[in-house]
Structure 1
Amino acid sequence: MTLQFLNTTNLPNMLNTIISLATAFILGGLIGLERQYRQRTAGLRTNVLVALGAAIFVDIANNLSGADGAVRVIAYVVSGIGFLGAGVIMRQEGNIHGLNTAATLWCSAAIGAAAGSDLIVEAIVATAFILAANTLLRPLVNMIDRQPLDADSEVTHVIYLIAAKDHRKLVMYKLTEILHHFNYPLKDLDVEPFGDNDIEIEATLIASSIEPTEMNEIIQQLNLMPQVQQAYWDKNTMA
Protein backbone atom coordinates (compact mmCIF):
# COMPACT_ATOMS: atom_id res chain seq x y z
CA MET A 1 0.00 0.00 0.00
CA THR A 2 2.81 2.40 0.90
CA LEU A 3 4.41 1.80 -2.51
CA GLN A 4 1.23 2.33 -4.47
CA PHE A 5 2.54 5.59 -5.85
CA LEU A 6 5.12 3.56 -7.79
CA ASN A 7 2.33 1.98 -9.81
CA THR A 8 0.86 5.37 -10.73
CA THR A 9 4.18 7.07 -11.46
CA ASN A 10 4.85 7.49 -15.15
CA LEU A 11 8.35 8.72 -15.96
CA PRO A 12 7.39 10.47 -19.24
CA ASN A 13 4.52 12.22 -17.42
CA MET A 14 6.87 13.15 -14.60
CA LEU A 15 9.33 14.69 -17.05
CA ASN A 16 6.45 16.55 -18.68
CA THR A 17 5.37 17.89 -15.27
CA ILE A 18 8.89 19.07 -14.47
CA ILE A 19 9.09 20.94 -17.78
CA SER A 20 5.69 22.57 -17.18
CA LEU A 21 6.55 23.68 -13.66
CA ALA A 22 10.01 24.89 -14.66
CA THR A 23 8.43 26.94 -17.44
CA ALA A 24 5.89 28.46 -15.04
CA PHE A 25 8.68 29.21 -12.55
CA ILE A 26 10.91 30.96 -15.10
CA LEU A 27 8.18 32.92 -16.87
CA GLY A 28 6.48 33.89 -13.62
CA GLY A 29 9.89 34.99 -12.39
CA LEU A 30 10.40 37.26 -15.41
CA ILE A 31 7.07 38.96 -14.78
CA GLY A 32 7.79 39.16 -11.05
CA LEU A 33 11.21 40.72 -11.58
CA GLU A 34 9.66 43.67 -13.37
CA ARG A 35 7.08 44.07 -10.57
CA GLN A 36 9.81 43.78 -7.91
CA TYR A 37 11.90 46.42 -9.68
CA ARG A 38 8.89 48.76 -9.59
CA GLN A 39 8.50 47.92 -5.88
CA ARG A 40 4.89 46.85 -6.32
CA THR A 41 2.85 45.01 -3.67
CA ALA A 42 3.01 41.70 -5.55
CA GLY A 43 6.63 41.17 -6.55
CA LEU A 44 8.92 38.34 -7.59
CA ARG A 45 7.84 35.59 -5.20
CA THR A 46 4.13 36.33 -5.47
CA ASN A 47 4.06 36.16 -9.26
CA VAL A 48 6.18 33.00 -9.30
CA LEU A 49 3.90 31.31 -6.76
CA VAL A 50 0.76 32.33 -8.67
CA ALA A 51 2.16 30.95 -11.94
CA LEU A 52 3.38 27.78 -10.22
CA GLY A 53 0.11 27.22 -8.39
CA ALA A 54 -1.92 27.52 -11.58
CA ALA A 55 0.48 25.20 -13.41
CA ILE A 56 0.32 22.57 -10.65
CA PHE A 57 -3.48 22.50 -10.54
CA VAL A 58 -3.84 22.34 -14.32
CA ASP A 59 -1.09 19.71 -14.67
CA ILE A 60 -2.73 17.47 -12.04
CA ALA A 61 -6.10 17.75 -13.78
CA ASN A 62 -4.48 17.09 -17.13
CA ASN A 63 -2.83 13.92 -15.82
CA LEU A 64 -5.96 12.65 -14.11
CA SER A 65 -8.73 13.59 -16.53
CA GLY A 66 -7.07 14.78 -19.70
CA ALA A 67 -7.91 17.97 -21.57
CA ASP A 68 -11.50 18.12 -20.30
CA GLY A 69 -10.34 18.07 -16.69
CA ALA A 70 -7.71 20.72 -17.39
CA VAL A 71 -10.30 23.03 -18.96
CA ARG A 72 -12.54 22.76 -15.89
CA VAL A 73 -9.66 23.54 -13.54
CA ILE A 74 -8.58 26.52 -15.67
CA ALA A 75 -12.08 27.96 -15.26
CA TYR A 76 -11.70 27.74 -11.48
CA VAL A 77 -8.23 29.27 -11.64
CA VAL A 78 -9.59 32.26 -13.59
CA SER A 79 -12.27 32.94 -10.99
CA GLY A 80 -10.16 32.05 -7.95
CA ILE A 81 -7.28 34.37 -8.83
CA GLY A 82 -9.76 37.25 -8.76
CA PHE A 83 -9.98 36.98 -4.98
CA LEU A 84 -6.20 37.12 -4.68
CA GLY A 85 -6.04 40.12 -6.99
CA ALA A 86 -8.70 41.92 -4.97
CA GLY A 87 -6.38 41.77 -1.96
CA VAL A 88 -3.84 44.11 -3.59
CA ILE A 89 -6.40 46.72 -4.69
CA MET A 90 -6.70 49.61 -2.25
CA ARG A 91 -8.74 52.80 -2.14
CA GLN A 92 -6.98 55.78 -0.59
CA GLU A 93 -7.97 59.45 -0.67
CA GLY A 94 -10.41 58.86 -3.52
CA ASN A 95 -7.82 57.06 -5.68
CA ILE A 96 -7.73 53.38 -6.59
CA HIS A 97 -4.30 51.73 -6.30
CA GLY A 98 -3.17 48.25 -7.28
CA LEU A 99 -5.31 47.59 -10.36
CA ASN A 100 -2.28 47.01 -12.56
CA THR A 101 -0.71 44.71 -9.97
CA ALA A 102 -3.93 42.69 -9.70
CA ALA A 103 -4.14 42.42 -13.50
CA THR A 104 -0.52 41.25 -13.63
CA LEU A 105 -1.28 38.52 -11.07
CA TRP A 106 -4.16 37.42 -13.25
CA CYS A 107 -1.82 37.26 -16.23
CA SER A 108 0.74 35.27 -14.22
CA ALA A 109 -1.97 32.73 -13.46
CA ALA A 110 -2.75 32.52 -17.17
CA ILE A 111 0.93 31.88 -17.89
CA GLY A 112 0.96 29.10 -15.30
CA ALA A 113 -2.22 27.57 -16.72
CA ALA A 114 -0.70 27.55 -20.20
CA ALA A 115 2.47 25.92 -18.91
CA GLY A 116 0.46 23.33 -16.97
CA SER A 117 -1.46 22.56 -20.17
CA ASP A 118 1.84 21.92 -21.99
CA LEU A 119 1.38 25.02 -24.14
CA ILE A 120 4.99 26.08 -23.59
CA VAL A 121 5.43 28.22 -26.70
CA GLU A 122 2.11 29.97 -26.06
CA ALA A 123 3.18 30.69 -22.47
CA ILE A 124 6.46 32.23 -23.67
CA VAL A 125 4.73 34.42 -26.25
CA ALA A 126 2.14 35.54 -23.69
CA THR A 127 4.89 36.44 -21.22
CA ALA A 128 6.55 38.64 -23.83
CA PHE A 129 3.30 40.52 -24.37
CA ILE A 130 2.73 40.94 -20.62
CA LEU A 131 6.23 42.33 -20.10
CA ALA A 132 5.71 44.67 -23.05
CA ALA A 133 2.47 45.94 -21.53
CA ASN A 134 4.17 46.69 -18.19
CA THR A 135 7.35 48.22 -19.64
CA LEU A 136 7.02 49.50 -23.21
CA LEU A 137 3.61 51.07 -22.62
CA ARG A 138 4.69 52.84 -19.42
CA PRO A 139 6.34 55.88 -21.11
CA LEU A 140 3.32 56.28 -23.39
CA VAL A 141 0.92 56.18 -20.44
CA ASN A 142 3.00 58.76 -18.53
CA MET A 143 3.10 61.05 -21.56
CA ILE A 144 -0.69 60.86 -22.02
CA ASP A 145 -1.36 61.32 -18.30
CA ARG A 146 0.68 64.50 -18.21
CA GLN A 147 -1.48 66.16 -20.85
CA PRO A 148 -4.22 68.50 -19.58
CA LEU A 149 -7.78 67.19 -19.82
CA ASP A 150 -10.60 68.91 -21.64
CA ALA A 151 -11.31 72.27 -20.08
CA ASP A 152 -14.92 71.28 -19.37
CA SER A 153 -13.91 68.56 -16.94
CA GLU A 154 -10.32 69.14 -15.88
CA VAL A 155 -8.84 67.39 -12.86
CA THR A 156 -5.89 69.21 -11.32
CA HIS A 157 -3.47 68.13 -8.63
CA VAL A 158 -2.39 70.77 -6.14
CA ILE A 159 0.49 70.85 -3.66
CA TYR A 160 -0.01 72.98 -0.55
CA LEU A 161 2.92 74.33 1.48
CA ILE A 162 3.04 76.23 4.74
CA ALA A 163 6.44 77.88 5.07
CA ALA A 164 8.22 80.74 6.79
CA LYS A 165 7.77 84.07 5.00
CA ASP A 166 11.48 84.89 5.21
CA HIS A 167 12.37 81.72 3.26
CA ARG A 168 9.79 82.19 0.52
CA LYS A 169 12.24 82.25 -2.40
CA LEU A 170 14.22 79.24 -1.18
CA VAL A 171 11.10 77.13 -0.67
CA MET A 172 9.64 78.05 -4.07
CA TYR A 173 12.96 77.31 -5.78
CA LYS A 174 13.21 73.92 -4.07
CA LEU A 175 9.60 73.12 -4.96
CA THR A 176 10.10 73.82 -8.68
CA GLU A 177 13.39 71.90 -8.63
CA ILE A 178 11.76 68.78 -7.14
CA LEU A 179 8.81 68.96 -9.55
CA HIS A 180 11.18 69.30 -12.50
CA HIS A 181 13.05 66.20 -11.33
CA PHE A 182 9.81 64.18 -11.36
CA ASN A 183 8.69 65.74 -14.67
CA TYR A 184 5.61 67.43 -13.20
CA PRO A 185 5.47 70.94 -14.74
CA LEU A 186 3.68 73.74 -12.95
CA LYS A 187 0.47 75.24 -14.30
CA ASP A 188 0.07 77.92 -11.65
CA LEU A 189 1.78 79.07 -8.45
CA ASP A 190 -0.09 81.16 -5.90
CA VAL A 191 1.25 82.59 -2.63
CA GLU A 192 -0.97 83.90 0.16
CA PRO A 193 -0.22 85.19 3.69
CA PHE A 194 -0.72 82.61 6.43
CA GLY A 195 -0.64 84.33 9.78
CA ASP A 196 1.95 86.98 10.62
CA ASN A 197 5.16 85.14 9.82
CA ASP A 198 4.18 82.40 7.37
CA ILE A 199 2.87 81.99 3.84
CA GLU A 200 0.80 79.34 2.05
CA ILE A 201 2.08 78.26 -1.36
CA GLU A 202 -0.43 76.61 -3.70
CA ALA A 203 1.22 74.86 -6.65
CA THR A 204 -1.14 73.58 -9.37
CA LEU A 205 0.32 70.93 -11.69
CA ILE A 206 -0.29 70.62 -15.41
CA ALA A 207 -0.41 66.83 -15.19
CA SER A 208 -3.97 65.50 -15.22
CA SER A 209 -2.87 62.19 -13.71
CA ILE A 210 0.00 61.45 -11.36
CA GLU A 211 1.71 58.49 -9.73
CA PRO A 212 0.67 58.55 -6.04
CA THR A 213 4.00 57.00 -5.02
CA GLU A 214 5.91 59.78 -6.78
CA MET A 215 3.70 62.47 -5.31
CA ASN A 216 4.13 61.04 -1.81
CA GLU A 217 7.90 61.11 -2.32
CA ILE A 218 7.69 64.75 -3.40
CA ILE A 219 5.69 65.63 -0.28
CA GLN A 220 8.15 63.71 1.88
CA GLN A 221 11.10 65.66 0.47
CA LEU A 222 9.30 68.97 1.03
CA ASN A 223 8.41 68.09 4.62
CA LEU A 224 12.08 67.34 5.32
CA MET A 225 12.96 70.98 4.63
CA PRO A 226 13.39 72.89 7.92
CA GLN A 227 11.76 75.97 6.35
CA VAL A 228 8.54 74.03 5.59
CA GLN A 229 6.06 73.54 8.41
CA GLN A 230 3.63 71.39 6.47
CA ALA A 231 3.24 70.01 2.94
CA TYR A 232 0.44 67.93 1.46
CA TRP A 233 -1.34 67.40 -1.85
CA ASP A 234 -4.90 67.06 -3.08
CA LYS A 235 -6.81 67.02 -6.34
CA ASN A 236 -9.53 69.36 -7.54
CA THR A 237 -12.14 68.84 -10.24
CA MET A 238 -12.99 71.86 -12.36
CA ALA A 239 -16.29 71.37 -14.20
Structure 2
Amino acid sequence: MTQVFVWRLLAAFACGVAIGIERQMRQRTAGLRTITLVASGACLFVSLGTLMGTGVTQIAAYVVSGVGFLGGGVIMREKGAIQGINTAATLWCSAAVGVLAGTGFYGAAIAGTIVVLGTNTVLRELSRAINAAPVGNADLIREYELTVVCREEDEVHIRAVLSNAMYAEPLSFQSLTSRDCEGEPPRLEVTATCRTHPKDQARLEHIASRISMEKGVSSVSWTAREVETTPE
Protein backbone atom coordinates (compact mmCIF):
# COMPACT_ATOMS: atom_id res chain seq x y z
CA MET A 1 0.00 0.00 0.00
CA THR A 2 2.85 2.38 0.83
CA GLN A 3 4.52 1.71 -2.51
CA VAL A 4 1.29 2.47 -4.38
CA PHE A 5 0.87 5.69 -2.40
CA VAL A 6 4.41 6.81 -3.26
CA TRP A 7 3.94 6.14 -6.98
CA ARG A 8 0.69 8.09 -7.02
CA LEU A 9 2.26 11.01 -5.19
CA LEU A 10 5.23 11.02 -7.57
CA ALA A 11 2.86 10.98 -10.55
CA ALA A 12 0.94 13.98 -9.17
CA PHE A 13 4.22 15.74 -8.42
CA ALA A 14 5.52 15.17 -11.96
CA CYS A 15 2.30 16.39 -13.57
CA GLY A 16 2.28 19.45 -11.32
CA VAL A 17 5.89 20.24 -12.24
CA ALA A 18 5.10 19.94 -15.97
CA ILE A 19 2.20 22.40 -15.70
CA GLY A 20 4.03 24.66 -13.25
CA ILE A 21 7.12 25.08 -15.44
CA GLU A 22 5.00 26.56 -18.24
CA ARG A 23 3.33 28.95 -15.77
CA GLN A 24 6.66 29.94 -14.21
CA MET A 25 8.17 30.68 -17.63
CA ARG A 26 5.34 33.16 -18.24
CA GLN A 27 5.81 34.69 -14.76
CA ARG A 28 2.24 34.04 -13.65
CA THR A 29 0.97 34.61 -10.12
CA ALA A 30 0.70 30.85 -9.54
CA GLY A 31 3.99 29.41 -10.76
CA LEU A 32 5.98 26.20 -10.43
CA ARG A 33 5.76 25.75 -6.67
CA THR A 34 2.09 26.70 -6.33
CA ILE A 35 0.88 24.47 -9.15
CA THR A 36 2.99 21.55 -7.92
CA LEU A 37 1.69 21.96 -4.37
CA VAL A 38 -1.92 22.05 -5.57
CA ALA A 39 -1.52 18.86 -7.62
CA SER A 40 0.40 17.09 -4.84
CA GLY A 41 -2.01 18.28 -2.15
CA ALA A 42 -5.03 17.07 -4.10
CA CYS A 43 -3.31 13.71 -4.47
CA LEU A 44 -2.60 13.53 -0.73
CA PHE A 45 -6.20 14.25 0.24
CA VAL A 46 -7.58 11.65 -2.14
CA SER A 47 -4.93 9.13 -1.09
CA LEU A 48 -6.01 9.66 2.52
CA GLY A 49 -9.48 8.52 1.56
CA THR A 50 -8.03 5.46 -0.18
CA LEU A 51 -5.83 4.54 2.79
CA MET A 52 -8.69 4.91 5.28
CA GLY A 53 -11.24 3.23 3.06
CA THR A 54 -13.59 6.24 3.05
CA GLY A 55 -15.42 7.84 0.13
CA VAL A 56 -12.89 9.14 -2.37
CA THR A 57 -15.57 10.97 -4.36
CA GLN A 58 -16.63 12.99 -1.33
CA ILE A 59 -13.04 13.98 -0.54
CA ALA A 60 -12.48 14.97 -4.18
CA ALA A 61 -15.50 17.26 -3.95
CA TYR A 62 -13.99 19.01 -0.92
CA VAL A 63 -10.70 19.38 -2.81
CA VAL A 64 -12.53 21.14 -5.65
CA SER A 65 -14.17 23.55 -3.17
CA GLY A 66 -10.86 24.30 -1.47
CA VAL A 67 -9.08 25.00 -4.72
CA GLY A 68 -11.95 27.31 -5.67
CA PHE A 69 -11.09 29.57 -2.71
CA LEU A 70 -7.42 29.43 -3.65
CA GLY A 71 -8.21 30.35 -7.26
CA GLY A 72 -10.27 33.31 -6.11
CA GLY A 73 -7.15 34.76 -4.51
CA VAL A 74 -5.33 35.10 -7.83
CA ILE A 75 -8.17 36.89 -9.65
CA MET A 76 -7.74 40.66 -9.55
CA ARG A 77 -9.34 43.70 -11.15
CA GLU A 78 -6.84 46.17 -12.62
CA LYS A 79 -7.80 49.33 -14.53
CA GLY A 80 -11.23 47.97 -15.41
CA ALA A 81 -9.89 44.60 -16.63
CA ILE A 82 -10.05 41.30 -14.78
CA GLN A 83 -6.70 39.51 -14.47
CA GLY A 84 -5.85 35.99 -13.31
CA ILE A 85 -8.85 33.98 -14.51
CA ASN A 86 -6.66 31.71 -16.63
CA THR A 87 -4.29 31.19 -13.68
CA ALA A 88 -7.23 30.26 -11.44
CA ALA A 89 -8.50 27.81 -14.06
CA THR A 90 -5.02 26.27 -14.30
CA LEU A 91 -4.97 25.77 -10.52
CA TRP A 92 -8.37 24.09 -10.74
CA CYS A 93 -7.22 21.75 -13.52
CA SER A 94 -4.00 20.98 -11.63
CA ALA A 95 -6.07 19.84 -8.68
CA ALA A 96 -8.08 17.58 -11.01
CA VAL A 97 -4.83 16.08 -12.31
CA GLY A 98 -3.71 15.48 -8.73
CA VAL A 99 -7.01 13.76 -7.89
CA LEU A 100 -6.65 11.47 -10.91
CA ALA A 101 -3.11 10.57 -9.94
CA GLY A 102 -4.18 10.01 -6.33
CA THR A 103 -6.84 7.52 -7.40
CA GLY A 104 -4.42 5.60 -9.60
CA PHE A 105 -5.64 6.80 -13.00
CA TYR A 106 -2.16 7.59 -14.31
CA GLY A 107 -3.12 7.68 -17.98
CA ALA A 108 -5.96 10.11 -17.31
CA ALA A 109 -3.67 12.29 -15.20
CA ILE A 110 -1.06 12.45 -17.97
CA ALA A 111 -3.76 13.18 -20.55
CA GLY A 112 -5.10 15.98 -18.35
CA THR A 113 -1.61 17.44 -18.02
CA ILE A 114 -1.17 17.42 -21.80
CA VAL A 115 -4.54 19.15 -22.28
CA VAL A 116 -3.67 21.87 -19.75
CA LEU A 117 -0.27 22.48 -21.34
CA GLY A 118 -1.79 22.54 -24.82
CA THR A 119 -4.45 25.01 -23.72
CA ASN A 120 -1.91 27.37 -22.15
CA THR A 121 0.50 27.23 -25.11
CA VAL A 122 -1.14 26.36 -28.42
CA LEU A 123 -4.51 27.99 -27.72
CA ARG A 124 -2.74 31.04 -26.29
CA GLU A 125 -1.22 31.79 -29.67
CA LEU A 126 -4.55 31.09 -31.37
CA SER A 127 -6.36 33.52 -29.09
CA ARG A 128 -3.73 36.20 -29.79
CA ALA A 129 -4.25 35.68 -33.53
CA ILE A 130 -8.02 36.00 -33.11
CA ASN A 131 -7.62 39.20 -31.07
CA ALA A 132 -5.40 40.67 -33.79
CA ALA A 133 -7.90 39.85 -36.55
CA PRO A 134 -10.50 42.39 -37.79
CA VAL A 135 -13.28 42.72 -35.25
CA GLY A 136 -16.07 44.23 -37.35
CA ASN A 137 -18.49 41.42 -36.48
CA ALA A 138 -17.95 41.50 -32.71
CA ASP A 139 -20.93 42.18 -30.45
CA LEU A 140 -19.59 45.42 -28.98
CA ILE A 141 -16.75 47.31 -30.64
CA ARG A 142 -15.30 50.74 -30.06
CA GLU A 143 -12.95 52.72 -32.22
CA TYR A 144 -10.10 54.29 -30.28
CA GLU A 145 -7.85 57.16 -31.35
CA LEU A 146 -4.55 57.51 -29.54
CA THR A 147 -2.97 60.93 -30.19
CA VAL A 148 0.65 61.75 -29.41
CA VAL A 149 2.13 65.26 -29.72
CA CYS A 150 5.88 65.17 -30.24
CA ARG A 151 8.81 67.05 -31.78
CA GLU A 152 9.24 66.92 -35.56
CA GLU A 153 12.56 65.09 -35.30
CA ASP A 154 10.92 62.33 -33.21
CA GLU A 155 8.09 61.58 -35.67
CA VAL A 156 9.64 58.43 -37.17
CA HIS A 157 10.49 57.03 -33.75
CA ILE A 158 7.01 57.70 -32.30
CA ARG A 159 5.31 56.16 -35.34
CA ALA A 160 7.44 53.05 -34.93
CA VAL A 161 6.71 52.84 -31.20
CA LEU A 162 2.95 53.18 -31.80
CA SER A 163 2.92 50.55 -34.56
CA ASN A 164 4.93 48.06 -32.52
CA ALA A 165 2.79 48.63 -29.43
CA MET A 166 -0.47 48.11 -31.33
CA TYR A 167 0.71 44.86 -32.86
CA ALA A 168 2.31 43.60 -29.63
CA GLU A 169 -0.76 43.89 -27.39
CA PRO A 170 -2.42 42.93 -29.87
CA LEU A 171 -5.13 45.39 -30.94
CA SER A 172 -6.92 45.63 -34.28
CA PHE A 173 -4.74 48.37 -35.80
CA GLN A 174 -6.59 50.51 -38.39
CA SER A 175 -4.49 53.54 -39.33
CA LEU A 176 -1.60 55.78 -38.38
CA THR A 177 -1.49 59.46 -39.44
CA SER A 178 0.61 62.57 -38.77
CA ARG A 179 -0.16 66.28 -39.07
CA ASP A 180 1.47 69.55 -38.11
CA CYS A 181 0.43 71.38 -34.98
CA GLU A 182 0.13 75.15 -34.76
CA GLY A 183 2.48 77.13 -32.54
CA GLU A 184 6.13 77.23 -31.57
CA PRO A 185 8.29 75.24 -31.32
CA PRO A 186 7.21 73.08 -34.29
CA ARG A 187 5.30 70.02 -33.17
CA LEU A 188 3.62 67.03 -34.84
CA GLU A 189 0.45 65.19 -33.90
CA VAL A 190 0.66 61.44 -34.54
CA THR A 191 -2.68 59.61 -34.34
CA ALA A 192 -3.15 55.84 -34.23
CA THR A 193 -6.62 54.33 -34.74
CA CYS A 194 -7.66 50.86 -33.62
CA ARG A 195 -10.85 48.91 -33.03
CA THR A 196 -11.31 46.61 -30.07
CA HIS A 197 -13.70 45.44 -27.37
CA PRO A 198 -14.05 47.76 -24.35
CA LYS A 199 -12.60 45.02 -22.15
CA ASP A 200 -9.24 45.65 -23.84
CA GLN A 201 -9.27 49.35 -23.00
CA ALA A 202 -6.67 48.75 -20.28
CA ARG A 203 -4.22 47.72 -23.02
CA LEU A 204 -4.67 51.09 -24.70
CA GLU A 205 -4.10 52.88 -21.40
CA HIS A 206 -0.93 50.86 -20.94
CA ILE A 207 0.32 51.91 -24.38
CA ALA A 208 -0.49 55.58 -23.67
CA SER A 209 1.34 55.44 -20.35
CA ARG A 210 4.39 53.87 -21.93
CA ILE A 211 4.56 56.35 -24.81
CA SER A 212 4.18 59.33 -22.48
CA MET A 213 7.64 58.50 -21.12
CA GLU A 214 9.28 58.66 -24.56
CA LYS A 215 11.73 61.48 -25.19
CA GLY A 216 10.27 64.40 -27.13
CA VAL A 217 6.61 63.62 -26.27
CA SER A 218 4.72 66.58 -24.85
CA SER A 219 1.24 65.06 -24.52
CA VAL A 220 -0.67 61.79 -25.01
CA SER A 221 -4.45 61.43 -25.16
CA TRP A 222 -7.03 58.96 -26.42
CA THR A 223 -10.72 59.02 -27.28
CA ALA A 224 -13.30 56.33 -27.99
CA ARG A 225 -16.51 56.15 -29.96
CA GLU A 226 -19.02 53.40 -30.59
CA VAL A 227 -18.94 51.57 -33.90
CA GLU A 228 -22.04 50.12 -35.48
CA THR A 229 -21.57 46.40 -36.09
CA THR A 230 -22.68 44.67 -39.25
CA PRO A 231 -26.08 42.95 -38.79
CA GLU A 232 -26.02 39.15 -38.96
TM-score scaled by structure 1? Answer: 0.78
Task: Say whether 1:134 aligns with 2:120.
Answer: yes
Contact 2:173 2:194 in 1 (8 A): yes
Q: Which residue of 2 aligns with 1:123?
A: 109
Q: Is the 8 A contact 1:33 1:44 kept in 2?
A: yes
Deviations 1:93-134 (A, max 9, x none): 221111111000000000111111111111111111111111
Residue 181 and residue 113 in structure 1: after superposition, are their counterparts in 2 closer, same or farther (change >3 A)? Answer: closer
Distance 1:151 1:25 in 2: 42
CA RMSD in angstroms comes to: 3.2
Name structure 2 gaps, 5 residues minimum: none
Structure 1 CA distance, aligned partners of 2:204 and 2:43? 36
The percentage of counterpart residues that share the same residue type is 35
Residue among 153, 157, 167 paired with 2:154: 167
The reply to whether residue 204 of structure 1 matches residue 178 of structure 2 is: no
Q: 2:217 aligns with which of 228, 231, 235?
A: 228
Report how far residue 173 of structure 1 moved.
3.4
Aligned residue for 2:21? 33
Question: One-letter code of the match for 2:95?
Answer: A
Is 2:66 aligned against 1:80? Answer: yes
Query: 1:9 matched to which residue of 2?
Result: none
SS in 2 for 1:118: coil
Q: What TM-score comes out, normalization by structure 2 length?
A: 0.80
Give structure 1 stretches of 5+ with no counterpart.
Answer: 1-12
Cα displacement string for residues 197-235 of structure 1 (whole angstroms, at most 9, x for unaligned residues): 55554422255576968984x557534521224557787
Give the 3-state SS of the residue equivalent to 2:163 in structure 1: helix
Paired residues, number? 224
Distance 1:212 1:78 in 2: 32
Q: CA deviation at 1:186?
A: 2.6
Whole-angstrom CA distance in 2 between matches of 1:46 and 1:236: 42
